Structure 1
């Protein structure tokens, strides 16, 4: 097990660092303290090391333009209708940065520089990121202290944990926005096989928010209870797929140990995902078009499996409300078989 730290920039009184975790099997994980970001996951295959997530060309690119690649999204992920949160008689107005809705925490915790420390053990290596998010940052009430921990072990598992505490009633629903690309770079995920432990998904309205409750996946393009190629859904003429130009939908998890599984088209890499969260939003990178800082990324080049509480129809966000001094904890793990 080993850890290497490389400082690649200094600005606004912050060191910008890349942290490499490596295990005894030749697997390497690159992290950035900018956004507590999962930058690269390199696994050994018969064809050499393969980066199995979407990445930008260099660490410095991540802070040039917001991109969500592997970032820790918060305080909440996803959309809030009209940017409004009703907490009892109180209504909180969040920044409307997605049309009239709020998305991904406003400017977001994925754009902050975290302090960090590293830990080396006999059977694992860790990077632990810390951030203080002040009261009224992006209009969220409460001073929030959070830690984001990445642990790599010799079972080729990455454990991602978030812990937080706030001093006022607030809302908190963070996740990691990593895009998986198990076939390596310059390959679409259309031939990647996806399996989900989910019997129900949430249809979306024209603003990409749920509006009609959960629907059964049975006999729909959203049925991934048995592994199938993602392209089968992308090629569907289902109105939900056409409206979103791909998958962008919450799937309610059944609560079994394995929440999701991805398998590369050449079968050289499999990823098994577990999570504490009740829902996974599956998004197939529908908006990418090889422009801007993500000029190396096109439509359907990656797929996110965003573990979270599902978005809701209205303004009652009680499911993601965090009380003063209440300890928040969530986790997701990604185990790679190669």
Structure 2
């Protein structure tokens, strides 16, 4: 693509759903080749172009070139996840004494909102603008009872891009009755650029958290947070993702690598604080993640198995990308000792995450 000719906001077709509804792609440019492309199916980031230390631009997220594979296979590439990101044990939770049952789409448990989560929905484009910098606002209304969740949830999502290399993702949601709200962005990143097909194991990762949640064989948290001290889960000082991924640690075995929630300090906070930093030494690209959420799910691409054919005619395989998903803690609805994911009428769920790109 010729990045020199990109407009701040470009709207273009991206296919048609089986029921005839049209899907759009919206491209927001921050200048110097920094650009994000968002599709209305799943409110997903379809591409994210970031310059390296020499100014060369590359797409750094997994995805597809057209709509068909998004419909055929559910890999969550760049998608918006809801109503409940991550897992709910036994696909049930109790809210005000009422037992709520949600779809068991990962064994006995419910993952990422069930069979037809927010990543499988067509979002509406409410508004676009250039001031102060390019942005687009999307919305989706999840009806009472959809995928078993109580309450009609009105969700608004704003993507914005800045000239200094920051992608902002902001969620707001309200409900007409008590419910759960736990939304996240499920980007699959490779700062080398996805076209070259390099592993992410050499990416140097820092996670600013002292504790994580160990999991059982079904990836459900066992209980209280555990210190990362002295374990392969300690990324506080900055460590290559692959440095300890093959250690004979029980939690590495259970996750087939990393697929664990890190407990960020202070829980829910008003303003985004630094949660993670990733550096790619060869290209010099750096991504810093700031969020106001209490948890950060780190996933090292363990289950990418070549079944998905993506952009640049590449098959996506293990360790081709990493995910850093800001969110509530997994299974929080069944854990009163975890930060709450409850949303009541009159309240507004707010989630702000910033993906700040720079170079070494």
Report TM bin, short chain.
over 0.9
Asked if structure 2 preserves the Cα contact closer than 8 Å seen for 1:142 and 1:168, the reply is: yes
- Cα deviation for residue 327 of structure 1 reads 1.2
TM-score, normalised via structure 1 length: 0.95
Greater CA drift, 197-206 or 287-296: 287-296
Aligned ranges 1:316-331 → 2 under 5 Å: 316=335, 319-331=340-352
TM-score, normalised via structure 2 length: 0.89
Residue 205 in structure 1 maps to residue 212 in structure 2: no
Change (3 A) 1:320 1:2: same
Map of 1:104 onto structure 2: 112
Map of 1:291 onto structure 2: 307
Asked if structure 2 preserves the Cα contact closer than 8 Å seen for 1:233 and 1:247, the reply is: no
- Cα deviation for residue 118 of structure 1 reads 4.3
Aligned match of 1:74 in 52, 71, 82?
Answer: 82
Residue 178 in structure 1 maps to residue 195 in structure 2: no
Aligned match of 1:21 in 28, 32, 45?
Answer: 28
Residue 276 in structure 1 maps to residue 292 in structure 2: yes
Residue 306 in structure 1 maps to residue 314 in structure 2: no
Aligned match of 2:129 in 120, 143, 147?
Answer: 120
Map of 1:229 onto structure 2: 240
Residue 4 in structure 1 maps to residue 10 in structure 2: yes
Aligned match of 1:154 in 163, 166, 188?
Answer: 163
Provide, for residues 96-140 of structure 1, a one-character-per-residue CA deviation record: whole Å limited to 9, x for no partner: 111111111012000100111443335410011111111111011
SS of corresponding position for 2:242: helix
Aligned match of 2:264 in 253, 265, 269?
Answer: 253
Map of 1:139 onto structure 2: 148
SS of corresponding position for 1:291: strand
Asked if structure 1 preserves the Cα contact closer than 8 Å seen for 2:211 and 2:263, the reply is: yes
Aligned match of 2:70 in 39, 59, 62?
Answer: 62
Greater CA drift, 310-319 or 148-157: 310-319
CA distance in 2 between partners of 1:290 and 1:114 (Å):
29
CA distance in 1 between partners of 2:332 and 2:248 (Å):
25
CA distance in 2 between partners of 1:165 and 1:193 (Å):
38
Asked if structure 1 preserves the Cα contact closer than 8 Å seen for 2:180 and 2:341, the reply is: yes
Asked if structure 2 preserves the Cα contact closer than 8 Å seen for 1:288 and 1:300, the reply is: yes
- Cα deviation for residue 53 of structure 1 reads 1.4
- Cα deviation for residue 292 of structure 1 reads 4.1
Asked if structure 1 preserves the Cα contact closer than 8 Å seen for 2:191 and 2:285, the reply is: yes
Greater CA drift, 120-129 or 206-215: 120-129
For the aligned residue pairs, the C-alpha RMSD in angstroms reads: 1.8
CA distance in 1 between partners of 2:127 and 2:332 (Å):
40
SS of corresponding position for 1:259: strand
Aligned length: 338
